[in-house]
Amino acid sequence: MIPIAEPLLAWYTRHGRHDLPWRQTRDPYPLWLAEIMLQQTRVESVKPYYTRFLQTLPAWRALAAAPQDQVLALWSGLGYYTRARNAQRAAQVVMASFAGHFPDTLEKAVTLPGVGRSTAAAVLASAYGQRQAILDANARRVLIRSHAIDADPKATATQQWLWTLASALTPEDAHGYNQAIQDLGAMICTPRQPRCPDCPLASRCKAHAQGRSHALPVTAHKPPKPQRHTFFLLAADPEGRILLEKRPDSGIWGGLWCLPQAAPDGGELSILCNDTLPPLEDTPAVRQFLQEAWSRRLRLDLQLLALAEEQQHVFTHFQLRFRCAHARVLDSAVADSAATLRWYHPADALTQGLPTPIRRILRNLGGGR
């Protein structure tokens, strides 16, 4: 076991990202919010969302009581929307079960929706001064390289060993140490092209001594991402409004407003791909299928005008290829009171919680931000 705390903290004092907005507080709520937003998302992407979210929903009570549409609108574009839904559920649990305070033990904190061991530990260390070890992606990479661990990082045994290391190496000043190891992983010990000459741990790093920094952590071969295909309906009524459909809370884009799809399957993005309708082709048969399917399901008198060029959006586990069908609504029979269907002017639609590709489509209409 290689002691790393002393040189790491000295480096952090001089070079750490002390100006990050969530490092200006010891209040558990903004600290927790930052940890949730930073899961699987880069710091620079998070900053504007974090600031806007806190300005609108500045405390547990406000988030717990907010309409879900407002929460998702504030999160829209940040991705991984399960985090937003879990964040609101966590705030509701904090209000209902912990008297409006983030739990002060690891055992209680990990019972909150969306809060794992590392997230809970980060908040407890910074908000309550506890000696709690973290193991986020940055910290894990630093430990793997410094100790030349060449096992699969996702294996249970490897995870257990890394937690043992993290717990043993974390000093009493866990708040500063946790931020230091996160910054080292983000700024120096990066996933690709680590800056070993600038690393304060270079003299004691086993991977560096072995010339293997670029080879660790071990990465498993990833098969090509499967592809899914769908059509979105961009239907304009005589007033210039477009129809949006609210997706189920579970599944892809849960709870967000979306353009209607050709054949929603109750939770996941639909796949329109079979022998008679090849994926995303613009043929008379495809157009007829789309017009009939949407007219029947949405109770609209539709005239399909054109199919836009194919686009794509990459998810963690698959790639979505899609085309947008432009249509004119001759008789907008669908009622505004429908729980999952609503007409919006494009500029108003852009204020809602929308998936990134849908926001991109609407922006191209000249609707606004």
Identify the band that residue 269 occupies on the pLDDT scale cut at 50, 70 and 90.
Answer: very low
Domains of the chain: 5-215 (1.10.340.30), 227-363 (3.90.79.10)
Identify the band that residue 42 occupies on the pLDDT scale cut at 50, 70 and 90.
Answer: very high
196 vs 214: CA distance, rounded Å: 10
Max intra-chain CA distance, the chain? 73
Identify the band that residue 8 occupies on the pLDDT scale cut at 50, 70 and 90.
Answer: very high
Query: Taking residues 31-52, what's their average pLDDT?
Result: 96
Q: Which residues are 257's β-sheet partners?
A: 246
68 and 85 Cβ atoms separated by less than 8 Å:
yes
pLDDT(274) > 50: no
93 and 112 Cβ atoms separated by less than 8 Å:
yes
Which residues does 244 contact at the CB level (< 8 Å), separation at least 6?
257, 258, 259, 260, 341, 342, 343, 344, 349, 352
Identify the band that residue 226 occupies on the pLDDT scale cut at 50, 70 and 90.
Answer: confident
Identify the band that residue 338 occupies on the pLDDT scale cut at 50, 70 and 90.
Answer: low
310 and 326 Cβ atoms separated by less than 8 Å:
no
Which of residues 287 and 134 earns the better pLDDT score?
134
Identify the band that residue 333 occupies on the pLDDT scale cut at 50, 70 and 90.
Answer: low
- Dihedral sign for Cα 251, 253, 254, 259, please: negative
**CA-CA distances (angstroms) from residue 304 to 19, 289, 300, 322, 345?**
52, 11, 11, 16, 19
pLDDT of residue 248: 87
pLDDT(267) > 80: no
If you ran DSSP here, which 8-state letter would residue 214 be given?
G
pLDDT of residue 39: 93
pLDDT(314) > 50: yes
Query: Taking residues 280-298, what's their average pLDDT?
Result: 87
pLDDT of residue 264: 39
Instruction: Assign 353 to helix, strand or coil.
Output: coil
74 and 115 Cβ atoms separated by less than 8 Å:
no
Structure tokens at 368: 């606004």
257 vs 73: CA distance, rounded Å: 9
pLDDT of residue 286: 86
Closest to 271 (Cα-Cα) out of 321, 324, 331: 321
pLDDT(58) > 90: yes
If you ran DSSP here, which 8-state letter would residue 368 be given?
-
Closest to 23 (Cα-Cα) out of 143, 178, 172: 178
* Residues recognised as catalytic: 35
Which of residues 367 and 278 earns the better pLDDT score?
278
pLDDT(278) > 60: no
DSSP calls for 144-180 = HHHTT--S-TTSHHHHHHHHHHHHHH--S-HHHHHHH
122 vs 105: CA distance, rounded Å: 12
